[in-house]
Amino acid sequence: MARVVVSELAKRDLRRILSDLNRKAGYRVAARYAEDFKATYRRLADIPASGPPRPSLGPSARIAIVLPYVVIYDRADDVATVLRVLHGKRNITRDLLAR
């Protein structure tokens, strides 16, 4: 089992997403997304190589999808580091990722 580390930027992204969902769609929707993100992090711990590689974002960058959001993470040995959680329609570039 891999260790999942969530960067400060990713924590901030997730707080903003859940707050925005709570405000616009209600508590139940925000809570469902919170569970979906937790499940995604658990999957990364179980199978860190499960996300497709994204070499344009970095040599070890991978993604996981929680529609319409993209969880961007680096995989190295037994650690999956969540770098950002961004809306999928956003132009995601290497510059957005803090390593």
The CATH number assigned to the domain holding 44 equals 3.30.2310.20
Tell me what pLDDT residue 98 has: 67
Longest CA span, the chain: 39
Please report the DSSP string for 11-40 in residue order: HHHHHHHHHHHHHHH-HHHHHHHHHHHHHH
Cβ-count burial 8-19 (b if 16+ within 10 Å, e if not): ebbeebbeebbe
- The answer to whether 88 and 65 are in contact (CB under 8 A) is yes
Task: For residue 69, give the 3-state DSSP assignment.
Answer: strand
- Each residue's pLDDT tens digit, 6-60: 999 999 999 999 999 999 999 999 999 999 999 999 999 999 999 999 999 999 9
Here the tokens at position 62 are 């991978």
pLDDT at 99 over 80: no
Tell me what pLDDT residue 97 has: 84
Tell me what pLDDT residue 82 has: 97
Range of the structural domain that residue 49 is part of: 3-96
| Total structural domains within the chain | 1
